[in-house]
Amino acid sequence: MEIEIISFGQITEFINNQKIEVNGIADTNSFKQYLEDRFPALKGIKYKLALNKNIVQQNTEITNQATIAIMPPFSGG
C-alpha cells in the first residue's frame, strides 16, 4: 500500500515529504506507531495527524494512496 506523507514545521527536519510503501498498516493508530518507531524524534513532541485533509480524532482506516499530514503546534508571533 502506498501512503504519501506531508510534514510541517520542525518535523520536516527528520521526516521529509515522501511516498512510502507499507504493508500491514490498516489504520491511523498503527501508522502512528510505525512513524514513532521509524522516526524516534517524533515521540518527544506534540503533533496531530490529518488523513486525506481531515483531522484524525479517532482510529481511522487507511486505504491505498492515502495522504497523511503530520502537523506540530506553532506559537510564534
Partner 1 sequence: MSAERYNRQIILKGFGEEAQQKLLRAKVLVIGVGGLGCPALQYLAAAGIGHIGIVDDDTISLSNLHRQILFTTADIGKLKVEVAAKRLQEMNTQIGIIRHPIRLQKNNILDILSRYDYILDGTDNFESRYLINDACALLNKPLIFAAVSGFEGQLAIFNTPDHLTPSTNYRDIFPIPPTKGEIPNCSENGIIGVLPGVLGTMAAAEIIKLIAEIGQPLTNKILSYNLLTQEQYTINLSQGHGYTLPKTVDEFLNMDYQNTSEGPQGYIEIDATELVKLQQLDSTILIDVRERHEVPVLDKQIFTQVPMSEFGAFMSKEFYQKHVVLICQHGIRSVAAAEAMQEKYGDAKKIYSLKGGIIKWRDHFLKS
Q: How far is the CB of 27 from partner 1 (least distance, A)?
A: 17
Measured in degrees and rounded to the nearest 5, phi and psi for residue 48 equal -130, 145
d(CA 50, CA 37): 19
Tell me if 72 sits within 8 A of 10, measured CB to CB: yes
C-alpha cell at 46: 506534540
Residues 35-74 that bind partner 1 (CB under 8 A): 39-46, 48, 50, 53-55, 57, 69, 71-74
Does residue 29 belong to the site contacting partner 1 (CB under 8 A)?
no
Of 63 and 67, CB closest to partner 1:
67
Cα dihedral 26, 10, 41, 14, rounded to 10, equals 70
Does residue 34 belong to the site contacting partner 1 (CB under 8 A)?
no
Instruction: Summarize as ranges the residues that interact with partner 1 (CB under 8 A).
Output: 6, 8-10, 13-14, 39-46, 48, 50, 53-55, 57, 69, 71-77
